Amino acid sequence: MRAFWIFVAGTVFALGALGYAAHLLGVQIQWIIIAIVLVGGIAIASGAGLARRRNQTNVAVSSDGARDGE
């Protein structure tokens, strides 16, 4: 779960930097907010999916009930 929060912190930092750069380029604030919400939502959803896959443990069980590798 710690990796997810590091991912969120990096996403917030990147979105802040991109929002500031867009502001300096003269993009209207409404479009900056729309872009940040859209990209931020996609990033959080993908980060949650990656964290969920990382936390799953797969154990192969043979037909006699013993785990592989034992």
Instruction: For residues 24 and 70, give the distance between their C-alpha atoms in angstroms, rounded to a whole number.
Output: 61
Q: Is the pLDDT of residue 68 over 60?
A: no
Neighbours of 68 (CB within 10 A): 8
6 band by pLDDT with thresholds 50, 70 and 90? confident
Answer for the pair 60, 16: CB distance below 8 angstroms, yes or no: no
User: Domain map of the chain by residue range?
Assistant: 2-55
pTM of the model: 0.63
Residues 6+ apart with CB under 8 A from 14: none
The pLDDT score that the predictor gives to residue 32 is 95
Give φ, ψ of 26 to 5 degrees: 90, 15
47 band by pLDDT with thresholds 50, 70 and 90? confident
Q: Write down the residue that tokens 């797969």 correspond to.
A: 58
Q: Is the pLDDT of residue 9 over 70?
A: yes
Give φ, ψ of 58 to 5 degrees: -105, 125
